[in-house]
Amino acid sequence: MSPADFRRYALFYLGYYGALGAYTPYVGRWVAANGHSGYVVGAMLALWYGGRIVAPPTWARMSARSPSPGHWLVAGCVLSLLGFAAFAGFDAGMMLFVTMAWFGVFFNAVMPQFEAMTLSALGQRNHDYGLIRMWGSIGFLIVAGTYGWLLDRLGNDAFVWLTLPWLALTVFAAWLHRNDRPATVEAAPTSAEPLWRRPGARRLLLTAMLMQLGFGPFYVFYTLHLQAHGHGGFAVGMLWAIGVVCEIAMFYLAPRLVQRFGAHRLMTACILATMARWTMVALLGDSFAWMAVAQTGHALSFAAFHAGCMRRMAELFPVRRDMAAAQGLLYGFSGGIGGVAGAGLAALTWQAGGGELAFLSGAAIGIATLLAHTLALRAPRAAAAES
Protein backbone atom coordinates (compact mmCIF):
# COMPACT_ATOMS: atom_id res chain seq x y z
CA MET A 1 0.00 0.00 0.00
CA SER A 2 1.45 3.36 -1.08
CA PRO A 3 1.58 6.39 1.28
CA ALA A 4 -1.20 8.04 -0.75
CA ASP A 5 -3.42 4.98 -0.38
CA PHE A 6 -2.60 4.82 3.33
CA ARG A 7 -3.85 8.40 3.72
CA ARG A 8 -7.06 7.65 1.81
CA TYR A 9 -7.90 4.70 4.04
CA ALA A 10 -6.85 6.46 7.23
CA LEU A 11 -9.01 9.50 6.42
CA PHE A 12 -12.14 7.38 6.17
CA TYR A 13 -11.48 5.80 9.55
CA LEU A 14 -10.81 9.27 11.00
CA GLY A 15 -14.16 10.66 9.83
CA TYR A 16 -16.24 7.56 10.55
CA TYR A 17 -14.99 7.07 14.09
CA GLY A 18 -15.02 10.81 14.73
CA ALA A 19 -18.79 10.66 14.13
CA LEU A 20 -18.97 7.57 16.30
CA GLY A 21 -17.04 9.45 19.01
CA ALA A 22 -19.94 11.88 19.21
CA TYR A 23 -22.69 9.30 18.90
CA THR A 24 -21.58 6.54 21.27
CA PRO A 25 -20.70 8.60 24.37
CA TYR A 26 -23.33 11.31 24.06
CA VAL A 27 -26.48 10.07 22.32
CA GLY A 28 -27.71 8.63 25.62
CA ARG A 29 -27.15 12.00 27.27
CA TRP A 30 -29.03 13.73 24.43
CA VAL A 31 -31.98 11.32 24.64
CA ALA A 32 -32.16 11.56 28.45
CA ALA A 33 -31.94 15.38 28.30
CA ASN A 34 -35.05 15.33 26.09
CA GLY A 35 -36.96 13.75 28.97
CA HIS A 36 -36.84 10.07 28.00
CA SER A 37 -36.33 7.12 30.37
CA GLY A 38 -33.60 4.53 30.45
CA TYR A 39 -35.86 2.19 28.49
CA VAL A 40 -36.02 4.70 25.63
CA VAL A 41 -32.24 5.12 25.72
CA GLY A 42 -31.86 1.34 25.57
CA ALA A 43 -34.42 1.06 22.74
CA MET A 44 -32.57 3.72 20.74
CA LEU A 45 -29.29 1.86 21.04
CA ALA A 46 -31.02 -1.46 20.32
CA LEU A 47 -32.27 0.00 17.02
CA TRP A 48 -28.75 1.21 16.30
CA TYR A 49 -27.29 -2.24 16.83
CA GLY A 50 -30.25 -3.84 15.06
CA GLY A 51 -29.05 -2.13 11.91
CA ARG A 52 -25.91 -4.26 12.15
CA ILE A 53 -27.94 -7.47 11.85
CA VAL A 54 -29.65 -6.69 8.54
CA ALA A 55 -27.57 -4.02 6.83
CA PRO A 56 -23.97 -5.39 6.66
CA PRO A 57 -24.65 -8.76 5.00
CA THR A 58 -27.20 -7.27 2.59
CA TRP A 59 -24.93 -4.34 1.74
CA ALA A 60 -21.93 -6.62 1.36
CA ARG A 61 -23.73 -8.83 -1.17
CA MET A 62 -24.90 -5.87 -3.26
CA SER A 63 -21.57 -4.04 -3.22
CA ALA A 64 -19.65 -7.25 -3.97
CA ARG A 65 -21.70 -7.78 -7.14
CA SER A 66 -21.13 -4.23 -8.32
CA PRO A 67 -18.34 -3.32 -10.75
CA SER A 68 -18.07 -0.02 -8.82
CA PRO A 69 -18.15 -0.85 -5.08
CA GLY A 70 -16.80 2.62 -4.30
CA HIS A 71 -20.11 4.10 -5.47
CA TRP A 72 -21.93 2.02 -2.88
CA LEU A 73 -19.61 3.32 -0.18
CA VAL A 74 -20.35 6.94 -1.15
CA ALA A 75 -24.10 6.30 -1.30
CA GLY A 76 -24.13 4.72 2.16
CA CYS A 77 -22.25 7.64 3.69
CA VAL A 78 -24.56 10.21 2.06
CA LEU A 79 -27.65 8.38 3.33
CA SER A 80 -26.09 8.20 6.81
CA LEU A 81 -25.52 11.96 6.80
CA LEU A 82 -29.12 12.64 5.75
CA GLY A 83 -30.46 10.24 8.36
CA PHE A 84 -28.54 11.84 11.20
CA ALA A 85 -29.50 15.35 10.07
CA ALA A 86 -33.14 14.33 10.60
CA PHE A 87 -32.50 14.18 14.36
CA ALA A 88 -32.53 17.98 14.29
CA GLY A 89 -36.26 17.84 13.59
CA PHE A 90 -37.27 14.63 15.34
CA ASP A 91 -36.26 14.29 19.00
CA ALA A 92 -39.42 12.64 20.36
CA GLY A 93 -42.25 10.32 19.36
CA MET A 94 -42.26 7.57 16.78
CA MET A 95 -40.20 9.59 14.30
CA LEU A 96 -37.29 9.53 16.76
CA PHE A 97 -37.16 5.74 16.38
CA VAL A 98 -37.72 5.86 12.61
CA THR A 99 -34.82 8.29 12.26
CA MET A 100 -32.67 6.09 14.47
CA ALA A 101 -33.45 3.03 12.35
CA TRP A 102 -32.60 4.91 9.13
CA PHE A 103 -29.28 6.16 10.45
CA GLY A 104 -28.40 2.84 12.06
CA VAL A 105 -28.99 0.86 8.86
CA PHE A 106 -26.81 2.94 6.55
CA PHE A 107 -24.06 3.96 8.97
CA ASN A 108 -23.56 0.36 10.07
CA ALA A 109 -23.71 -0.93 6.49
CA VAL A 110 -20.63 0.83 5.17
CA MET A 111 -17.97 -0.11 7.71
CA PRO A 112 -17.88 -3.88 7.03
CA GLN A 113 -17.53 -3.07 3.33
CA PHE A 114 -14.69 -0.68 4.08
CA GLU A 115 -12.99 -3.13 6.47
CA ALA A 116 -12.98 -5.68 3.66
CA MET A 117 -11.59 -3.09 1.25
CA THR A 118 -8.83 -2.28 3.76
CA LEU A 119 -7.84 -5.90 4.37
CA SER A 120 -7.91 -6.57 0.63
CA ALA A 121 -5.64 -3.58 -0.02
CA LEU A 122 -3.23 -4.74 2.68
CA GLY A 123 -3.04 -8.28 1.30
CA GLN A 124 -0.38 -10.32 3.08
CA ARG A 125 0.45 -7.36 5.31
CA ASN A 126 -2.85 -7.67 7.21
CA HIS A 127 -0.92 -7.41 10.49
CA ASP A 128 -0.49 -3.70 9.64
CA TYR A 129 -4.24 -3.19 9.90
CA GLY A 130 -3.87 -1.58 13.34
CA LEU A 131 -1.70 1.23 11.95
CA ILE A 132 -4.54 2.33 9.67
CA ARG A 133 -7.37 1.65 12.13
CA MET A 134 -5.50 3.76 14.69
CA TRP A 135 -6.62 6.89 12.83
CA GLY A 136 -10.21 6.00 13.61
CA SER A 137 -9.27 6.01 17.26
CA ILE A 138 -7.70 9.44 16.86
CA GLY A 139 -10.98 10.78 15.45
CA PHE A 140 -12.91 9.18 18.31
CA LEU A 141 -10.45 10.70 20.81
CA ILE A 142 -10.79 14.23 19.47
CA VAL A 143 -14.57 14.14 19.68
CA ALA A 144 -15.22 12.04 22.79
CA GLY A 145 -12.65 14.00 24.77
CA THR A 146 -14.09 17.44 23.97
CA TYR A 147 -17.82 17.11 23.37
CA GLY A 148 -18.76 16.62 27.02
CA TRP A 149 -17.26 20.03 27.80
CA LEU A 150 -18.84 21.55 24.67
CA LEU A 151 -22.30 20.21 25.49
CA ASP A 152 -22.04 21.60 29.02
CA ARG A 153 -21.52 25.04 27.51
CA LEU A 154 -23.59 24.94 24.32
CA GLY A 155 -26.44 22.80 25.62
CA ASN A 156 -27.51 19.30 24.66
CA ASP A 157 -29.37 20.57 21.58
CA ALA A 158 -25.97 21.20 19.97
CA PHE A 159 -25.30 17.45 19.86
CA VAL A 160 -26.71 16.95 16.36
CA TRP A 161 -24.99 19.99 14.84
CA LEU A 162 -21.63 19.10 16.37
CA THR A 163 -21.81 15.60 14.87
CA LEU A 164 -22.79 16.46 11.30
CA PRO A 165 -19.35 17.81 10.22
CA TRP A 166 -17.76 14.44 10.97
CA LEU A 167 -20.36 12.66 8.88
CA ALA A 168 -19.63 15.15 6.10
CA LEU A 169 -15.93 14.25 6.36
CA THR A 170 -16.89 10.59 5.99
CA VAL A 171 -18.73 11.42 2.75
CA PHE A 172 -15.65 13.25 1.45
CA ALA A 173 -13.35 10.36 2.40
CA ALA A 174 -15.68 7.88 0.72
CA TRP A 175 -15.62 10.02 -2.43
CA LEU A 176 -11.85 9.43 -2.64
CA HIS A 177 -12.65 5.71 -2.97
CA ARG A 178 -15.44 6.13 -5.54
CA ASN A 179 -13.35 4.63 -8.35
CA ASP A 180 -11.92 1.71 -6.36
CA ARG A 181 -12.31 -1.50 -8.30
CA PRO A 182 -13.38 -4.89 -6.96
CA ALA A 183 -10.56 -6.93 -5.49
CA THR A 184 -8.88 -9.36 -7.85
CA VAL A 185 -10.19 -12.83 -7.12
CA GLU A 186 -7.56 -15.48 -6.46
CA ALA A 187 -7.53 -18.57 -8.61
CA ALA A 188 -7.68 -20.80 -5.54
CA PRO A 189 -11.07 -22.50 -5.17
CA THR A 190 -13.44 -21.45 -2.42
CA SER A 191 -15.42 -23.86 -0.30
CA ALA A 192 -19.08 -23.97 -1.31
CA GLU A 193 -20.28 -24.32 2.26
CA PRO A 194 -21.74 -21.25 4.01
CA LEU A 195 -19.14 -18.96 5.54
CA TRP A 196 -20.41 -19.48 9.07
CA ARG A 197 -19.75 -23.22 8.74
CA ARG A 198 -16.03 -22.77 8.17
CA PRO A 199 -14.00 -24.52 10.90
CA GLY A 200 -13.53 -22.03 13.73
CA ALA A 201 -15.91 -19.42 12.31
CA ARG A 202 -18.87 -20.13 14.59
CA ARG A 203 -16.72 -20.08 17.70
CA LEU A 204 -15.19 -16.76 16.70
CA LEU A 205 -18.65 -15.31 16.00
CA LEU A 206 -19.94 -16.53 19.37
CA THR A 207 -16.95 -15.08 21.23
CA ALA A 208 -17.29 -11.72 19.46
CA MET A 209 -21.05 -11.65 20.09
CA LEU A 210 -20.66 -12.32 23.82
CA MET A 211 -17.92 -9.69 24.09
CA GLN A 212 -20.26 -7.13 22.51
CA LEU A 213 -23.07 -8.24 24.82
CA GLY A 214 -20.89 -7.43 27.82
CA PHE A 215 -20.11 -4.01 26.35
CA GLY A 216 -23.82 -3.09 26.38
CA PRO A 217 -23.79 -1.10 29.64
CA PHE A 218 -20.68 0.78 28.54
CA TYR A 219 -22.00 1.91 25.17
CA VAL A 220 -25.49 2.74 26.45
CA PHE A 221 -25.05 4.09 29.98
CA TYR A 222 -21.38 4.83 30.74
CA THR A 223 -21.77 8.62 30.41
CA LEU A 224 -25.01 8.59 32.45
CA HIS A 225 -23.35 6.33 35.06
CA LEU A 226 -20.50 8.82 35.47
CA GLN A 227 -22.94 11.74 35.71
CA ALA A 228 -24.93 9.86 38.37
CA HIS A 229 -21.72 9.62 40.40
CA GLY A 230 -21.13 13.37 40.22
CA HIS A 231 -18.67 13.65 37.33
CA GLY A 232 -19.15 16.72 35.11
CA GLY A 233 -18.90 16.99 31.35
CA PHE A 234 -15.18 17.78 31.37
CA ALA A 235 -14.40 14.75 33.57
CA VAL A 236 -16.58 12.51 31.43
CA GLY A 237 -14.77 13.66 28.29
CA MET A 238 -11.40 13.11 29.95
CA LEU A 239 -12.32 9.55 30.90
CA TRP A 240 -13.47 8.75 27.37
CA ALA A 241 -10.23 10.34 26.10
CA ILE A 242 -8.07 8.21 28.42
CA GLY A 243 -9.66 5.08 27.02
CA VAL A 244 -9.10 6.15 23.44
CA VAL A 245 -5.48 7.23 24.02
CA CYS A 246 -4.78 3.74 25.33
CA GLU A 247 -6.70 2.32 22.37
CA ILE A 248 -4.52 4.27 19.91
CA ALA A 249 -1.35 3.09 21.60
CA MET A 250 -2.59 -0.49 21.44
CA PHE A 251 -3.48 -0.28 17.74
CA TYR A 252 0.09 0.90 17.16
CA LEU A 253 1.48 -2.05 19.13
CA ALA A 254 -1.10 -4.61 17.99
CA PRO A 255 0.77 -5.86 14.88
CA ARG A 256 3.75 -6.91 16.98
CA LEU A 257 1.61 -8.37 19.77
CA VAL A 258 -0.49 -10.42 17.36
CA GLN A 259 2.62 -11.74 15.64
CA ARG A 260 4.36 -12.57 18.92
CA PHE A 261 1.52 -14.09 20.98
CA GLY A 262 -1.02 -15.08 18.34
CA ALA A 263 -4.64 -13.98 18.15
CA HIS A 264 -6.02 -16.64 20.53
CA ARG A 265 -3.78 -15.88 23.49
CA LEU A 266 -4.11 -12.14 23.00
CA MET A 267 -7.91 -12.38 22.95
CA THR A 268 -7.86 -14.44 26.17
CA ALA A 269 -5.97 -11.64 27.94
CA CYS A 270 -8.46 -9.12 26.56
CA ILE A 271 -11.46 -11.00 27.96
CA LEU A 272 -9.91 -11.25 31.44
CA ALA A 273 -9.02 -7.55 31.44
CA THR A 274 -12.57 -6.65 30.41
CA MET A 275 -14.09 -8.57 33.31
CA ALA A 276 -11.87 -6.67 35.74
CA ARG A 277 -12.69 -3.39 34.02
CA TRP A 278 -16.49 -3.68 34.31
CA THR A 279 -16.18 -4.72 37.96
CA MET A 280 -14.18 -1.57 38.73
CA VAL A 281 -16.64 0.66 36.87
CA ALA A 282 -19.54 -0.88 38.78
CA LEU A 283 -18.09 -0.62 42.28
CA LEU A 284 -15.77 2.42 42.18
CA GLY A 285 -17.78 4.91 40.12
CA ASP A 286 -17.31 7.76 42.62
CA SER A 287 -13.54 7.82 42.12
CA PHE A 288 -12.16 9.59 39.05
CA ALA A 289 -8.76 7.95 39.65
CA TRP A 290 -10.20 4.42 39.62
CA MET A 291 -12.33 5.21 36.60
CA ALA A 292 -9.18 6.39 34.83
CA VAL A 293 -7.46 3.10 35.70
CA ALA A 294 -10.47 1.18 34.40
CA GLN A 295 -10.41 3.14 31.14
CA THR A 296 -6.84 2.05 30.45
CA GLY A 297 -8.36 -1.40 30.03
CA HIS A 298 -9.87 -0.20 26.75
CA ALA A 299 -6.49 -0.93 25.17
CA LEU A 300 -7.11 -4.65 25.67
CA SER A 301 -10.89 -4.98 25.86
CA PHE A 302 -11.45 -3.11 22.60
CA ALA A 303 -8.32 -2.41 20.54
CA ALA A 304 -6.35 -5.62 21.04
CA PHE A 305 -9.49 -7.75 20.93
CA HIS A 306 -10.55 -6.12 17.66
CA ALA A 307 -7.10 -6.58 16.14
CA GLY A 308 -7.17 -10.23 17.20
CA CYS A 309 -10.57 -10.69 15.56
CA MET A 310 -9.30 -9.14 12.34
CA ARG A 311 -6.32 -11.49 12.29
CA ARG A 312 -8.61 -14.48 12.85
CA MET A 313 -10.89 -13.26 10.05
CA ALA A 314 -7.93 -13.04 7.68
CA GLU A 315 -6.89 -16.58 8.67
CA LEU A 316 -10.38 -18.06 8.35
CA PHE A 317 -11.25 -16.33 5.07
CA PRO A 318 -8.04 -16.01 3.07
CA VAL A 319 -9.83 -15.79 -0.29
CA ARG A 320 -10.60 -12.13 -0.88
CA ARG A 321 -13.97 -12.62 -2.54
CA ASP A 322 -15.23 -14.04 0.78
CA MET A 323 -13.93 -11.20 2.91
CA ALA A 324 -16.73 -8.62 2.48
CA ALA A 325 -19.44 -11.20 3.21
CA ALA A 326 -17.45 -12.54 6.18
CA GLN A 327 -17.04 -9.04 7.60
CA GLY A 328 -20.78 -8.49 7.25
CA LEU A 329 -21.37 -11.76 9.07
CA LEU A 330 -19.06 -10.71 11.91
CA TYR A 331 -20.75 -7.33 12.26
CA GLY A 332 -24.19 -8.94 12.16
CA PHE A 333 -23.39 -11.39 14.94
CA SER A 334 -21.22 -9.24 17.20
CA GLY A 335 -22.39 -5.67 16.74
CA GLY A 336 -25.87 -6.74 15.63
CA ILE A 337 -27.19 -9.57 17.77
CA GLY A 338 -24.72 -8.89 20.58
CA GLY A 339 -25.39 -5.16 20.43
CA VAL A 340 -29.20 -5.46 20.49
CA ALA A 341 -29.13 -7.98 23.34
CA GLY A 342 -26.53 -5.90 25.18
CA ALA A 343 -28.58 -2.71 24.89
CA GLY A 344 -31.71 -4.53 26.08
CA LEU A 345 -29.94 -6.14 29.02
CA ALA A 346 -28.32 -2.83 29.92
CA ALA A 347 -31.69 -1.05 29.94
CA LEU A 348 -33.26 -3.71 32.15
CA THR A 349 -30.41 -3.81 34.65
CA TRP A 350 -30.08 0.00 34.66
CA GLN A 351 -33.74 0.43 35.56
CA ALA A 352 -33.52 -2.34 38.18
CA GLY A 353 -30.27 -1.43 39.92
CA GLY A 354 -28.56 1.50 38.21
CA GLY A 355 -25.04 1.45 36.84
CA GLU A 356 -23.72 -0.90 39.53
CA LEU A 357 -25.97 -3.78 38.49
CA ALA A 358 -25.60 -2.99 34.78
CA PHE A 359 -21.81 -3.14 34.81
CA LEU A 360 -21.65 -6.14 37.14
CA SER A 361 -23.84 -7.98 34.64
CA GLY A 362 -21.32 -7.02 31.95
CA ALA A 363 -18.52 -8.53 34.06
CA ALA A 364 -20.54 -11.72 34.56
CA ILE A 365 -21.04 -12.08 30.81
CA GLY A 366 -17.25 -12.12 30.55
CA ILE A 367 -17.30 -15.58 32.15
CA ALA A 368 -19.42 -16.92 29.30
CA THR A 369 -17.17 -15.14 26.80
CA LEU A 370 -14.07 -16.74 28.29
CA LEU A 371 -15.73 -20.16 28.20
CA ALA A 372 -16.68 -19.78 24.53
CA HIS A 373 -13.19 -18.63 23.65
CA THR A 374 -11.59 -21.48 25.62
CA LEU A 375 -13.69 -23.97 23.66
CA ALA A 376 -12.47 -22.28 20.49
CA LEU A 377 -8.91 -22.88 21.64
CA ARG A 378 -9.47 -26.54 22.47
CA ALA A 379 -11.34 -27.46 19.30
CA PRO A 380 -8.35 -27.19 16.91
CA ARG A 381 -6.19 -29.17 19.32
CA ALA A 382 -8.78 -31.93 19.57
CA ALA A 383 -9.09 -32.07 15.79
CA ALA A 384 -5.31 -32.29 15.48
CA ALA A 385 -5.15 -35.11 18.05
CA GLU A 386 -7.76 -37.14 16.14
CA SER A 387 -5.96 -36.80 12.81
pTM score, two decimals? 0.76
pLDDT one-digit tens code per residue, 143-176: 988 998 999 899 988 999 999 999 999 999 999 9
Identify the pLDDT of residue 272.
Answer: 95
Q: Band of the pLDDT at 386, cuts 50, 70, 90?
A: very low
Whether the pLDDT of residue 1 is over 70: the answer is no
pLDDT one-digit tens code per residue, 261-294: 888 889 999 999 999 999 999 999 999 999 999 9
Our CA angle for 347, 91, 53, nearest 5°, is: 50
Alpha-carbon gap, residue 354 to 108, rounded angstroms: 29
Mean pLDDT along residues 115-129: 73
- Of 13-17, 184-188, 210-214, the poorest mean pLDDT is in 184-188
- Of 180-194, 233-247, 318-332, the poorest mean pLDDT is in 180-194
Domain ranges of the chain: 3-184+196-386
Mean pLDDT along residues 235-240: 92
Q: Which CATH superfamily is domain 3-184+196-386 in?
A: MFS general substrate transporter like domains (1.20.1250.20)
Which of 11-15, 38-42, 334-338 holds the top average pLDDT?
11-15
Alpha-carbon gap, residue 79 to 23, rounded angstroms: 16
Report the 10 Å Cβ neighbour count for 55: 24
pLDDT one-digit tens code per residue, 313-333: 878 776 666 666 777 778 778
Residue type, 57: P
Identify the pLDDT of residue 186.
Answer: 44
Chain centroid to Cα 369, Å, comes to: 17
Mean pLDDT along residues 102-128: 79
* Whole-number average pLDDT of the chain: 84
Q: Band of the pLDDT at 215, cuts 50, 70, 90?
A: very high
pLDDT one-digit tens code per residue, 255-264: 888 888 888 8
Identify the pLDDT of residue 366.
Answer: 93
Identify the pLDDT of residue 213.
Answer: 93
